Amino acid sequence: MRKLLFLFFFSIIGFGQMEAQSFQTGKSSQTANDKELIAYPNPAKDFLYLKTTDPNVKIKSATFYSILGNVVADVQINANYSEIRIDKLKQGRYLMRYVLSNNTQKIIQIIKQ
pLDDT of residue 24: 38
pLDDT of residue 29: 47
Angstrom distance (rounded) from CA 6 to CA 15: 12
pLDDT of residue 50: 97
pLDDT of residue 14: 40
User: Reading across the β-sheet that carries 47-52, which strands appear in turn?
Assistant: 32-33, 37-40, 47-52, 81-85
pLDDT of residue 34: 75
Sign of the torsion formed by the C-alpha atoms of 82, 11, 18 and 27: positive
Answer yes or no: are the C-beta atoms of 95 and 21 closer than 8 Å. Answer: no
Q: Which of 111, 106, 112, 113 is nearest to 53 (CA)?
A: 106
* pLDDT tens per residue across all 113 residues of the chain: 555 444 444 443 344 333 344 333 333 446 777 789 999 999 999 999 999 999 999 999 999 999 999 999 999 999 999 999 999 999 999 999 999 999 999 999 999 99
Beta-ladder partners of 79: 59
